[in-house]
Structure 1
């Protein structure tokens, strides 16, 4: 038998090329489940590549490199399977409880700021409160004049506009003694002076109040030289006896915060002979005898015939001592210390008034 013609004995199956390739494929499969087991199998595969098949060296080197690639691929597949396994309980949680882990971990949106109502407050306080709530502030004149705001504590908020996205509040304000306009940038609705000439003080006060004029800011004055100016309380007490003879300002004039409203009053009752206003203020005496320059020559004879030279009494003044009968409060009198009563029976005494001259005043 020729040894050169004798066929080579068959190689064992585990040393064949398909067997080695199968070991390499096993590396990728096991890597998907266990990285440690896959690493052991990869070492065995590299040994098999270099020992079992009769490959050339560069083929064996390429197979070794392929084993590392298969290890990486298997590990990647294993990571994906692990991640999928991690997500499955989340899905179950959504099915059971209706809440997902992803939704729970998402950031909660910031809550929008809500602006408080600052209308009617002093501007400086409104700005302070707004800034403490997280807003920036701006301010301007609410009136049409567009005036500069200097002393914020003296201005009052009429309108505000909040920008929640920009976290800013715009305030529109007017001076503290001014009324708010109907809209931002409108004219100030100042009250207008009504016509109260000829009305009683009671009726005049009612008309002024209805017009929006503060009675505390109204100044009272008398029209006769021999009548003392009443206080607001005294005029209100006898409101039907006091009459408005003159007014300032005229009817229809706007009454602003700087306007002085003046009512010039005269007083009379049904018992008075004179029940009309004088033609001009502070130009006449209600009772001529109260005039220091009054000539008594024409009255001397009447006084002598009626009283025999004794003391005389009138509705406003006295030239003798003691009681003089009915007098009018505030009118001039003499001598000092004389007494009398009003039409309502209030005791009066003649003593110096606020102007230093003797007037009938309550005792």
Structure 2
């Protein structure tokens, strides 16, 4: 073949500029830029970028998938940096004005005139996110800070409550001082949180203890109950309130004068007795004493005498109406707890519900109270 007569090589066709890789990457970068100013506009550009990646780009399939996820990530980052994801709005106070409002600590008075700006509404007691949203709707640029002396950074505004506010009607700025929703407001902006202190309720009836705790400002939802006797079940709050004058506080936690903040659990250890009970005082320690002595497995009614007359005269339950009389060969011990250990065999009693009970061998072979 004559090289001088060979055909001239044809150059490979080039892609239009909008199908090139730099153009597509620029479109993806535009997603982050526009979403910082408008979430809706950024979203539309992201859709256009994804379509261009899948229709126009010469990339392989895995590169297209990565670009699609990248576009979504750029939309989120751009919107977050621009404040578009904040439900309280996009308005921001400039740094100089914000510093002036924070330093002053109070609203700047404006001389009366016909064109005097409207005073900002009172948002104290409102959730911070709602207060900022309404303030921005009224044309104010809102900033915020911790109302307590802890200088904490406020992240989730819906979990904070406005305690104080200071505004500049002329500059249309407002500064909110807030605390967490579970916390009380301090007496002044930047002051310590005034957590309630535990009162002394040991020895008080349950009703009186609840009244004292409520008056001290302790959250009753954080109060738990426990019993002090081995043979008495812990009452629920409803059961304790129903017989509130029969239940008495033997121990409390935390002690008197201790700060009870939002993380503190208050425990009241209760004992129950009436005038008919054998034991009518708190034990020296929890879970060491039986309210009904006959429920004690080591209880022995005839340790001091061989005669029933002597037993009746020395037994701690000598009251014939509740726990001291011997009838039909058995000893009546008054109110007992079903299933508890008992002694001596054949002794009788009644449950709190009035069911006749008798002391006898249980399923484990030990003497326990069961229905007669």
TM range (shorter): 0.5 to 0.7
1:205 CA displacement: 1.4
Question: What residue in structure 2 maps to residue 190 of structure 1?
Answer: 195
Query: CA shift at 1:115, angstroms?
Result: 1.4
Q: Deviations over 1:252-285 (max 9, x none)?
A: 1111111111111101111112111011111221
Q: Does 1:204 align with 2:209?
A: yes
TM-score, with structure 2 as normaliser = 0.55
Indicate whether 1:298 and 2:318 are aligned: no
Q: What SS does the corresponding residue of 1:315 show, helix, strand or coil? A: strand
Deviations 1:106-147 (A, max 9, x none): xx9866243111111111111111111111111111001111
Cα distance change, pair 225–288 in 1 and its aligned pair in 2 (3 A):
same
Which whole-Å CA distance do the structure 2 matches of 1:117 and 1:294 have between them?
Answer: 69
Name the one with the larger helix percent.
1
Corresponding residue for residue 239 of structure 2:
234
Q: Aligned partners of 2:142, 2:368: CA distance in 1, in Å?
A: 61
Residue 298 of structure 1 and its aligned partner are, at CA, apart by 3.4
Task: Give the match's secondary structure for 1:298.
Answer: coil
TM-score, normalization by structure 1:
0.56
Separation (CA, whole Å) in 1 of partners of 2:188 and 2:350? 60
State the partner residue of 1:147.
Answer: 152
Larger of the two Rg values belongs to structure:
1
Which residue in the other structure is 1:243 paired with? 248
Cα drift, residue 204 of structure 1: 1.2
Match of 2:133 among 128, 136, 142: 128
Q: Distance in 1 between matches of 2:356 and 2:126?
A: 51
CA RMSD of aligned residues (A): 3.4
- 1:360–1:256 CA distance, 2 compared to 1 (3 A): farther
The answer as to whether partners of 1:274 and 1:286 remain within 8 angstroms in 2 is: yes
- d(CA) in 1 for partners of 2:307, 2:220: 49
1:185-239: CA deviations, max 9, x gaps?
0111111111111111122112111111122321111111111111122212211
Distance in 2 (CA, whole Å) between partners of 1:248 and 1:278 is 16
Count of paired positions: 230
1:218 is matched with: 223
Q: Distance in 1 between matches of 2:307 and 2:128?
A: 74
